[in-house]
């Protein structure tokens, strides 16, 4: 809260200080033509005039302010051939990107890269350049791509990237591998998760407006943390402006099944709209925080007092119409001599109404499954409020050193009413279930980093970074009531005394990561042999505190209560009495735990150019990991803590070989070994009750970390400009992968984890991005992009370890066999218009593994169509209008098991109109 | 009050003659022997329609110990409720404390071993004959008590004691009706360790406390002497349970006079369901989950809480005359522990004369296994009474189950396996002779709560069931056509011999409908609409079935309970073929003395 408000203040002050400017700016990054590394200490002469200030920084970047006109830039460096960009036009108040590559001296082959370099206008192209030269296989999405899509957050933006699908709204599946095989970094630091049951943070937490670019690294290199196999998602927040920026944008969205329709919500605080509603929902002050509310410890009248302290509100309130979606954002930044500042602030409020059908099957014994429970009227009404901000500062100590301070805060609140009714096979009753839930998630990350190029130390580069990140999840006062009636009747529902009825739940998660890291790189040039030696260190010190309390109103003498009353009436204070409802604490000993995970990794690697065509990146990383989970109920006297521990040291080699078939064509091959460690709750021998999922989970202290051998091959062709054609093949072999299993108890299924012998995952990726100009002049304004992913995975489930699981041989959970994306782009500068049309199709995938002779549950193929049209009211994108249509097909999401549809819903079409205005 | 006058006078023998002169003026009317003889000429008085219960509390009760537990010297208060229910027979009344270790009786009001009636008259004097008064929570012994007006200090006689009030016929010889109350005198209370790994015997001169999970494992046998009281501590998570793991045994053989009581730590009147966990026995007999081994409901998953295997002969131990009271601690939403739980116990396990009193979850629940049980009492449970699942294959006979005046759920809830209705081996228990008496209120948490409820592929044979005043209907179920009909067709499921009356009310109409269609769920009508099924809707004519704290379920003259046409149990070495009646009771009351029916509100001071 404090950090958010200080950010707002900073932005306001900063905006006020902006003044008009008539000069233009030239900026860019200088890359090594062979290995793609940024080159520091390159001198840039403008029209032949050298200036000691015009030198690239340790990131290879430069920034020159010039009066409008045409210029010629000449780049010279110690070990590189001279490069020239001619006819560079600088317009007043605008920035022109003049990134380039430089050829190493001593390399004989020429690479034609600098023709028409002045034409580089789009970030997408510079990112392609970077990708072409990258040491690892990666896919990226640039700021422009994000801006031009319908995505409102990082998860939505990534959906269009090759090999990626988004599962459960925020989790990235890369090449069919689930979130347990991916990792997320923000500004080059690992970030903690806000979800106690997940390993990585959901990406829908990051508003698109704050993000400059997202890169998904698909192959490992020793400088990266060793724990990923599918992909490492690297997000970078807004970059430093090369000129003064201040932009405001406003969007309104209309969803066909939500906006202006009836909407369920519930009472909370006055700031619910903004996502600050935890205060009024906090645990009542009357409830002791140093003791559990156990029988025998307090008197009946104290219990009555405790019970009456809870807000007696269990019923949703219906609004006759839902507001449109709204989002507002402000981005501003400037450079003041050596100091660069950028800040962004965004707020969005999004209501959604999702009616669903849900069914649960059982094996009836008659040979085929039959319906066990069926909820025809399952609705989720959610209002999400999201406020996020970024404040980044850069300070240039001198031409070869700079300091960066980057801060990101994002918070997100969901206010959800869930109601369903129908036959519950578990109790043989028609139930009517109402749950009111409010969750706040906050992620704060701050990092201080420095880049130093040491010209006298053979141009070596030193990078250091200290990051502190903190995720908080606060779920105050979840309330649930269940009513019931005899099945098949239309009697009124009466209050049911079930374990989840009259239930109140409070939950807090605090996850912190302290991450120091340092890298040192020394380039070397010896005739035809050149390269970079790199070594570094990263410590990831993670701490988690998890705490929750559960309460339930239990009826004592039912004859004193009228169960036909409404929920609010029956649970009203007059019925909270020793012979009516009494409050009981049902917190479990394992509802609180502390966990630590310390990972220290050090690596050495070499990036070697062998002649001009062959490049080898090889190295090794050593990682020490130490995981500890302590479960202890501090409020129970003499409780003994339960401990779980895992210590490992692993050597993780990585090799990448790049062969330039032609200057525009690469062939890549790679091998690496990565690991996958058990998560906190997977390792602890004690049982955790999932909050979000349905199952409780008991960990397995005997779990080992899994080893993954990754093989990659890729052919890529960059025809020039914003174009690419690429094909990749990958094969991954898992040794002792951690898989979920189920152990039933009498009343529920309980999830556990086990190492299985092995699994395989292989696939193909094809990518194509091309302008259509060369096929026909009429198509000059059009370009198309398409990508296709095929994944085939195979897990063999040993019967002895998983007797309850039905499939013995199946794909990985969440893996689609085919993923297609197609994007058509139309740009007509004359009309100041551009439009994009997206199609995305994901084939069926397993969402839940079938148990007890029931088949696996599949989410069926679905296809999505989105369209965006943008019109500049004033030239140069200063003031633009934007129309987008999301989910035009509005296909039904279908989940099936055997021949039954077990879940289906639609999310509706969303039409958004927005405008943004740049002050400079 | 008239009753007070009676006892004020009765405690003072000196004043007795003066009172007798005016005896006709009071309700508890005294009679002469001759008058009584004249009145009852030719009548053989076998039973009484009166209801009565007696209980004792400890004036020096220690926090965390129930009123059952006394130290020598603690002062005792005895109270009694008596409802004459228009029983106008003349009686003689005796009251005494019996030391169940040596059988010695100490008669009130004198508190000596010399036999007297409550008026202090010895057989030689001739007992005083009286008609029954109505007493409500009348203090008999204690400050202002009617028999002894000061609290009595309990003697240093360790072990179990019983307070007995007897209604004898006017001649003072034949006992027509008795009320009993058990308490123990101990030297102190011991905490049981969480792990019992070597043989241990709990003797009745101490009391014992279970705090958290107490598990018997490592081949150990836990022996509990008759008359031992075990207290479950509240508020522990996981809850306080006595867990006999598959690698341990229990030998808890109480007697009719000295039952073993496992109970709440709270004072009488404020005990609640779920004050502690309960008793769990696990074994290695077969279950029908494909994994062959499961973790028991309500407890953390580890080696000690798993049950199931291939040893159908597994011996979990012996339970006889054991009461488990106020158990069923809430573990988490929808998971409470049962009062008695058997998980995969085998044929060598013995279970007889067991009472689940005020259980939060089911009174008796079987998870697989094949162990038999006899003589079960379930009173005022909040969930089901006899619940079987995961392929239970045992036999059960003689059971009485009383729904709470507040609500309870189903009488029998029989599943094959919840997660796979067609799992094998099929759960096919055989049950005979249960009486269910409900409160005719809606289910506690299952609004479809018939007396007999079958679902999820249940097999089995269910016989001679008496359902009276239960909820919803007599026979119901779910998934019948899909999952039970195949068992019926294969001869693996049958219901034979059901006497139903006034089951299912409904909240809307307030009246039960005693006709076939409303009493049998639609999908069972094909099976039940057949003379061989002996489905009878008739008033069972029981003596006093709805008096909660002292019910009398025996049949009156002409009761259909005794019809000659009922189905007979097999003489297979387990079933008692002599139980020729329907329901739990024919000629005698096997719940006498060791079981308790007193509702908690009825002993609230």
pLDDT-derived band at B19, boundaries 50, 70, 90: very low
pLDDT-derived band at A3, boundaries 50, 70, 90: very low
pLDDT-derived band at B397, boundaries 50, 70, 90: very high
Test the B interface: residue of A288, A295, A552 with most B CBs within 10 Å: A295
Do B199 and B164 share a structural domain?
no
**pLDDT at residue A443 in the model:** 92
B297–A589: do the CB atoms touch at under 8 Å?
Answer: no
pLDDT-derived band at B108, boundaries 50, 70, 90: very high
Judged by a CB distance cut-off of 8 A, whether residue B194 touches chain A is no
Alpha carbon of B60: minimum distance to chain A alpha carbons (Å): 17
Is the pLDDT score of A444 beyond 80? Answer: yes
Do B202 and B177 share a structural domain?
no
CA dist list (Å): A312 to A172, A185, A431, A481, A567: 39, 42, 21, 12, 9
| B233 contact residues in A (CB cutoff 8 A) | 296
Test the B interface: residue of A424, A428, A552 with most B CBs within 10 Å: A428
- Quickly tell me which residue has 């867990």 as its tokens: B243
Domain annotation covers residue B509: no
Is the pLDDT score of A17 beyond 90? Answer: no
Do B255 and B312 share a structural domain?
yes
Distance of CA B33 to the CA centre of its chain: 37
Q: Closest chain A residue to B233 measured between Cα atoms?
A: A296
Domain annotation covers residue B371: yes
**pLDDT at residue B186 in the model:** 97
Contact present, A686 and A590 (Cβ < 8 Å):
yes
In CATH terms, the superfamily for domain A1-121 is Immunoglobulins (2.60.40.10)
Is the pLDDT score of A645 beyond 90? Answer: no
Q: Where are the beta strands (DSSP E) in A455-491?
A: 460-485
* Beta pairing class for A69-77 and A43-46: antiparallel
* Beta pairing class for B91-99 and A43-46: unpaired
Tens digits of per-residue pLDDT, A663-719? 788 899 999 999 999 888 788 766 665 544 456 777 788 888 999 999 999 998 888
Q: Closest chain A residue to B368 measured between Cα atoms?
A: A746
Alpha carbon of B451: minimum distance to chain A alpha carbons (Å): 14
| A213: its two tokens | 């670019």
Q: What is the mean pLDDT of chain A?
A: 84
Alpha carbon of A296: minimum distance to chain B alpha carbons (Å): 7
Question: At which of B493, B515, B531 does a domain end?
Answer: B493
pLDDT-derived band at A14, boundaries 50, 70, 90: very low
Mean pLDDT of B72-91: 93
Do B214 and B152 share a structural domain?
no
pLDDT > 90: percent of chain A:
36
Domain annotation covers residue B572: no
**pLDDT at residue B511 in the model:** 55
A284-315 as b/e: b if 16+ CB within 10 A: eeebeeeebbbbbebeeeebbbbbbebebbbb
Nearest to B447 among A370, A484, A554 (CB): A484
| B508 contact residues in A (CB cutoff 8 A) | 491
Domain annotation covers residue B415: yes
Is the pLDDT score of A140 beyond 80? Answer: no
Do B159 and B268 share a structural domain?
no
Tens digits of per-residue pLDDT, B300-313? 777 888 999 999 99
Look at residue A442 and give its three-state secondary structure: strand
- Quickly tell me which residue has 């089951």 as its tokens: B503
A490: Cβ contacts below 8 Å, ≥ 6 apart: none
DSSP code string of A837-849: EEEEEE--EEEE-
Domain annotation covers residue B602: no
Tens digits of per-residue pLDDT, A584-598? 888 877 677 888 999
For the question of whether the overall pTM of this predicted structure is more than 0.90, the answer is no
Domain annotation covers residue B479: yes
Question: At which of B466, B493, B520 does a domain end?
Answer: B493
pLDDT-derived band at B18, boundaries 50, 70, 90: very low
Judged by a CB distance cut-off of 8 A, whether residue B415 touches chain A is no
Strand partners, B111: none
Do B195 and B168 share a structural domain?
no
Please count the other Cβ atoms lying within 10 Å of the Cβ belonging to residue B358.
26
Q: Does domain A252-918 match CATH 2.40.170.20?
A: yes
Tens digits of per-residue pLDDT, B123-182? 998 999 999 989 999 999 999 898 999 999 999 999 999 999 999 998 899 999 999 999
Tens digits of per-residue pLDDT, A180-221? 888 889 888 888 888 777 777 788 888 887 888 888 888 888
Question: At which of B140, B163, B185 does a domain end?
Answer: B185
Q: Using CA atoms, how far apart are residues A909 and A888, in angstroms rounded to an integer? A: 6
Nearest to A295 among B272, B298, B332 (CB): B272
| Of the candidate ranges A602-616, B257-271, B463-477, the one whose mean pLDDT is the lowest | A602-616
Mean pLDDT of A324-337: 90
Question: Max CA-CA distance within chain A?
Answer: 96
In A329-385, alpha helices (H):
none
**pLDDT at residue A746 in the model:** 54
Q: What is the CATH number for B139?
A: 2.70.50
Q: Using CA atoms, how far apart are residues B577 and B433, in angstroms rounded to an integer? A: 11
Domain annotation covers residue B104: yes
Omega into B109 within 30° of 0, i.e. cis? yes
Parent domain of B315:
191-493
| A698 contact residues in B (CB cutoff 8 A) | 300-301
**pLDDT at residue B42 in the model:** 65
Do B147 and B268 share a structural domain?
no
Mean pLDDT of B377-386: 92
Domain annotation covers residue B166: yes
Nearest to A499 among B296, B333, B420 (CB): B333
Cα Rg, chain A, nearest whole Å: 29
Mean pLDDT of B582-599: 94
Is the pLDDT score of B445 beyond 60? Answer: no
Judged by a CB distance cut-off of 8 A, whether residue B191 touches chain A is no
Nearest Cα to Cα of residue B252 among B279, B232, B209, B222:
B222
Taking a contact as any Cβ pair under 8 Å apart, which residues of chain B between 97 and 136 contact chain A?
Answer: none
Q: Where are the beta strands (DSSP E) in B32-134?
A: 51-58, 69-70, 75-83, 91-99, 105-107, 129-130
Do B149 and B128 share a structural domain?
yes
Is the pLDDT score of A781 beyond 90? Answer: no
DSSP code string of A114-133: -TTGGG---HHHHHHHHHHH
| B426: its two tokens | 């099929």
Do B216 and B121 share a structural domain?
no
Nearest to B421 among A364, A484, A487 (CB): A364
Higher pLDDT, A479 or A531: A479
Number of helices and strands (H, E) in chain B?
6, 42
| B291: its two tokens | 């994994």
Please count the other Cβ atoms lying within 10 Å of the Cβ belonging to residue B200.
14
Burial class (CB within 10 angstroms; exposed 0-12, middle 13-18, buried 19+) of B251: middle
Number of domains in chain B: 2
Do B272 and B168 share a structural domain?
no
Q: Where are the beta strands (DSSP E) in A635-684?
A: 642-662, 665-676
Contact present, B394 and B380 (Cβ < 8 Å):
no
Higher pLDDT, A726 or A160: A726
- Quickly tell me which residue has 């310390």 as its tokens: A598
Test the B interface: residue of A300, A365, A426 with most B CBs within 10 Å: A365
Taking a contact as any Cβ pair under 8 Å apart, which residues of chain B between 500 and 529 contact chain A?
Answer: 507-508
Look at residue B518 and give its three-state secondary structure: helix
Q: Using CA atoms, how far apart are residues A330 and A279, in angstroms rounded to an integer? A: 27
Contact present, B457 and B417 (Cβ < 8 Å):
yes
* Beta pairing class for A758-771 and A782-796: antiparallel
pLDDT > 90: percent of chain B:
68
Nearest Cα to Cα of residue A445 among A462, A468, A463, A464:
A468
**pLDDT at residue A129 in the model:** 61
Contact present, A18 and A244 (Cβ < 8 Å):
yes
Mean pLDDT of A594-614: 89
Q: What is the CATH number for B245?
A: 2.160.20
Tens digits of per-residue pLDDT, A841-876? 999 998 888 888 889 999 999 999 999 998 988 876
Is the pLDDT score of A268 beyond 90? Answer: no
Number of helices and strands (H, E) in chain A?
7, 50
Phi and psi dihedrals of B39, rounded to 5? -65, -35
Tens digits of per-residue pLDDT, A82-127? 777 777 888 887 777 777 777 776 543 333 333 333 333 334 455 5
**pLDDT at residue B388 in the model:** 96
Do B159 and B242 share a structural domain?
no
Mean pLDDT of A529-547: 90
Tens digits of per-residue pLDDT, A727-738? 999 999 999 998
Domain boundaries, chain A: 1-121, 252-918
Question: What length is written for chain A?
Answer: 920
Taking a contact as any Cβ pair under 8 Å apart, which residues of chain B between 208 and 237 contact chain A?
Answer: 233-237
| A639: its two tokens | 């409780």
Phi and psi dihedrals of B18, rounded to 5? -60, -40
Burial class (CB within 10 angstroms; exposed 0-12, middle 13-18, buried 19+) of B497: buried
Is the pLDDT score of B474 beyond 80? Answer: yes
Do B156 and B48 share a structural domain?
yes
Q: What percent of chain A is helix, strand and coil (3-state, nearest 5)?
A: 10, 60, 35
Is the pLDDT score of B510 beyond 60? Answer: no
Test the A interface: residue of B62, B193, B209, B237 with most A CBs within 10 Å: B237
């Amino acid at each position: 809260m404090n950090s958010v408000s200080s950010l707002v203040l900073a932005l306001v002050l900063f905006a006020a200080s902006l003044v008009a400017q008539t000069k233009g700016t030239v900026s860019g990054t200088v890359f090594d033509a062979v290995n793609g590394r940024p080159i520091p200490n390159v001198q840039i002469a403008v029209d032949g005039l050298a200036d000691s200030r015009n030198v690239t920084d340790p990131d290879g970047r430069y920034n020159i302010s010039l009066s409008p006109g045409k210029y010629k830039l000449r780049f010279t460096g110690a070990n590189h051939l001279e490069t020239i960009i001619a006819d560079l036009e600088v317009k007043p108040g605008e920035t022109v990107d003049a990134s380039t590559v430089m050829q190493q001296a001593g390399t004989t082959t020429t690479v034609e890269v600098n023709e028409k370099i002045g034409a580089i206008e789009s970030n997408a192209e510079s990112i392609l350049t970077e990708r072409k030269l990258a040491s690892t296989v990666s896919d990226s999405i640039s700021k422009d791509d994000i801006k031009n899509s319908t995505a409102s957050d990082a998860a939505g933006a990534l959906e269009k990237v090759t090999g990626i699908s988004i599962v459960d709204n925020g989790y990235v599946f890369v090449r069919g591998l689930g979130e347990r095989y991916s990792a997320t970094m923000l500004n080059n630091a690992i970030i903690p998760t806000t979800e106690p049951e997940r390993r990585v943070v959901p990406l829908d937490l990051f508003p698109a407006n704050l993000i400059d670019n997202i890169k998904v690294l698909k192959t490992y290199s020793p400088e990266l943390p060793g724990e990923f196999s599918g992909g490492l998602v690297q997000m970078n927040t807004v970059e430093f402006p090369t000129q003064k920026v201040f932009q405001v944008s406003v969007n309104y969205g209309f969803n066909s099944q939500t906006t202006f329709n009836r909407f369920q919500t519930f009472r909370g605080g006055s700031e619910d709209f903004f996502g600050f509603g935890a205060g009024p929902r906090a645990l009542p002050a009357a409830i002791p925080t140093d003791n559990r509310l156990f029988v025998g410890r307090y008197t009946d009248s104290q219990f009555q007092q405790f019970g009456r302290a809870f807000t007696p509100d269990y019923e949703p309130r219906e609004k006759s119409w839902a507001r449109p979606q709204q989002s507002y954002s402000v981005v501003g930044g400037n450079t003041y001599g050596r100091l660069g500042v950028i800040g962004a602030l965004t707020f969005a409020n999004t209501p959604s109404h999702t009616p669903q059908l849900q069914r649960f099957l059982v094996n009836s014994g008659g040979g085929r499954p039959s319906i066990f429970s069926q909820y025809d009227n399952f609705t989720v009404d959610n209002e999400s409020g999201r406020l996020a901000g970024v404040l980044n500062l850069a300070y240039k100590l001198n031409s070869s050193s700079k300091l960066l301070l980057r801060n990101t805060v994002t918070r997100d609140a969901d206010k959800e009413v869930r109601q369903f009714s129908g036959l519950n096979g578990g109790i043989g009753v028609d139930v009517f279930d109402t749950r009111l839930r409010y969750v706040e998630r906050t992620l704060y990350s701050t990092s201080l980093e420095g880049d130093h190029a040491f010209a006298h130390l053979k141009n070596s580069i030193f990078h250091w970074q200290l990051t502190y990140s903190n995720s908080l999840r606060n779920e105050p006062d979840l309330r649930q009531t269940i009513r019931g009636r005899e099945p098949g009747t239309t009697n009124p529902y009466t209050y049911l005394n079930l374990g989840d009825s009259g239930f109140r739940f409070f939950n807090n998660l605090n996850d912190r990561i302290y991450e120091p890291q340092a890298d040192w790189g020394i380039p070397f040039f010896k005739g035809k042999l050149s390269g970079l030696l790199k070594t570094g260190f990263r410590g990831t010190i993670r701490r988690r505190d998890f705490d929750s309390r559960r309460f339930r109103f239990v009826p004592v003498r039912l004859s004193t209560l009228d169960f036909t009353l409404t929920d609010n009436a029956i649970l009203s204070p007059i019925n909270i009495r020793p012979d009516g409802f009494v409050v009981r604490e049902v917190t479990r000993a394992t509802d609180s735990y502390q966990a630590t995970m310390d990972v220290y990794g050090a690596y050495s690697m070499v990036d070697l150019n062998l002649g001009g065509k062959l490049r080898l990146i090889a190295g090794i990383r050593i990682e020490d990991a130490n995981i500890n989970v302590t479960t202890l109920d501090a409020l129970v006297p003499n409780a003994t803590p339960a401990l779980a521990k895992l210590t490992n040291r692993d050597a993780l080699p990585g090799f990448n070989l790049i062969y330039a078939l032609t200057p525009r064509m690469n062939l890549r091959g790679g091998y690496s070994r990565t690991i996958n460690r058990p998560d906190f709750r997977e390792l602890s021998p004690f049982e955790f009750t999932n909050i979000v999922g349905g199952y409780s989970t008991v960990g397995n202290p005997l779990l080992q970390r899994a080893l993954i051998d990754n093989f990659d091959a890729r052919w890529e062709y960059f025809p020039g400009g914003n174009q690419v054609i690429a094909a990749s093949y990958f094969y991954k072999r898992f040794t002792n992968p951690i898989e979920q299993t189920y152990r039933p108890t009498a009343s529920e299924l309980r999830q556990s984890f086990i190492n299985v012998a092995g699994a395989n995952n292989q696939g193909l990726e094809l990518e194509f991005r091309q302008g259509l100009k060369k096929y026909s002049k009429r198509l000059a304004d059009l370009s198309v992009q398409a990508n296709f992913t095929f994944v085939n995975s195979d897990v063999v489930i040993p019967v002895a370890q998983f007797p309850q699981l039905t499939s013995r041989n199946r794909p990985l959970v969440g893996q689609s066999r085919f993923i297609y994306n197609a994007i058509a782009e139309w740009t007509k500068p004359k009309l100041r218009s551009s439009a994009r049309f997206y199609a995305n199709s994901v084939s069926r995938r397993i969402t839940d593994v079938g148990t007890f002779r029931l088949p696996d549950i599949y989410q069926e193929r679905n296809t999505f169509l989105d369209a965006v049209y943008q019109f500049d009211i004033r030239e140069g994108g200063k003031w633009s209008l934007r129309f987008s249509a999301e989910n035009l097909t509005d296909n039904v999401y279908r989940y099936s098991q055997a021949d039954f549809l077990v879940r289906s819903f639609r999310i509706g079409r969303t039409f958004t109109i927005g405008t943004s205005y740049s002050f400079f | 009050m008239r009753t007070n006058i009676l006892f004020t006078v009765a405690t003072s023998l000196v004043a007795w003659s003066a009172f007798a002169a005016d005896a006709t003026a009071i309700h508890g009317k005294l009679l002469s022997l001759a008058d009584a003889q004249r009145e009852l000429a030719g009548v053989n008085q076998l039973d009484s329609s009166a209801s009565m219960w007696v209980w004792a509390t400890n004036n020096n009760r220690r926090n965390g110990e129930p009123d059952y537990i006394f130290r020598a010297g603690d002062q005792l208060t005895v109270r009694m409720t008596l409802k004459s229910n228009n029983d106008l027979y003349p009686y003689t009344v005796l009251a005494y404390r019996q030391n169940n270790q040596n059988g010695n009786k100490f008669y009130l009001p004198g508190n000596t071993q010399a036999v007297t009636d409550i008026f202090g008259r010895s057989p030689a004097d001739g007992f005083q004959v009286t008609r029954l008064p109505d007493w409500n929570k009348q203090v008999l012994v204690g400050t202002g008590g009617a028999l002894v007006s000061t609290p009595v200090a309990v003697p240093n006689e360790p072990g179990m004691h019983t307070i007995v009030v007897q209604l004898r016929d006017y001649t003072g010889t034949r006992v027509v009706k008795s009320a009993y109350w058990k308490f123990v005198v101990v030297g102190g209370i011991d905490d049981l360790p969480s792990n019992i790994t070597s043989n241990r015997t709990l003797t009745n001169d101490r009391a014992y406390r279970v705090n958290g999970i107490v598990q018997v494992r490592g081949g150990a046998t836990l022996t509990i002497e008759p008359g031992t009281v075990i207290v479950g501590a509240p508020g522990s998570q996981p809850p306080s349970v006595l867990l006999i793991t598959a690698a341990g045994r229990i030998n808890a053989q109480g007697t009719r006079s000295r039952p073993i009581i496992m109970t709440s730590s709270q004072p009488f009147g404020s005990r609640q369901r779920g004050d502690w966990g309960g008793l769990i026995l696990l074994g290695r007999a077969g279950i029908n989950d494909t994994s062959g081994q499961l973790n028991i409901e309500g407890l953390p998953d580890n080696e000690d809480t798993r049950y199931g295997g291939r040893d159908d002969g597994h011996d979990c131990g012996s339970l006889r005359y054991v009461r488990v009271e106020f158990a069923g601690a809430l573990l988490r939403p929808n998971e409470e522990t049962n009062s008695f739980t058997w998980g995969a116990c085998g044929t060598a396990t013995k279970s007889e004369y067991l009472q689940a009193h005020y259980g939060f979850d089911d009174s008796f629940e079987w998870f697989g296994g094949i162990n038999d049980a006899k003589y079960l009492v379930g009173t005022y449970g909040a969930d089901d009474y006899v619940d079987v699942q995961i392929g239970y294959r045992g036999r059960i006979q003689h059971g009485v189950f009383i729904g709470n005046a507040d609500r309870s759920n189903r009488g029998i809830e029989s599943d094959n396996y919840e997660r796979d209705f067609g799992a094998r081996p099929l759960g096919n228990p055989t049950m005979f002779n249960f009486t269910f008496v409900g409160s005719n209120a809606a289910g506690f948490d299952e609004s479809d709560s018939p007396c007999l409820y079958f679902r999820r592929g249940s097999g089995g044979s269910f016989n001679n069931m008496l359902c009276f005043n239960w909820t919803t209907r007599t026979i119901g179920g779910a998934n019948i056509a899909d999952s039970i009909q195949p068992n019926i067709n294969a001869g693996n499921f049958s219901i034979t011999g059901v006497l139903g009356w006034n089951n299912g009310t409904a909240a809307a109409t307030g009246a039960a409908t005693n006709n076939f269609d409303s009493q049998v769920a639609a999908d069972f009508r094909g099976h039940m609409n057949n003379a061989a099924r002996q489905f009878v809707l008739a008033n069972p004519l029981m003596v006093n079935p709805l008096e909660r704290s002292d019910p009398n379920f025996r049949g009156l003259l002409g009761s259909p309970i005794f019809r000659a046409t009922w189905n007979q149990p097999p003489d297979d070495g387990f079933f008692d073929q002599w139980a020729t009646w329907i329901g739990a009771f024919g000629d005698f009351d096997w719940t006498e003395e060791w079981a308790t029916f007193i509702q908690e509100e009825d002993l609230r001071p």
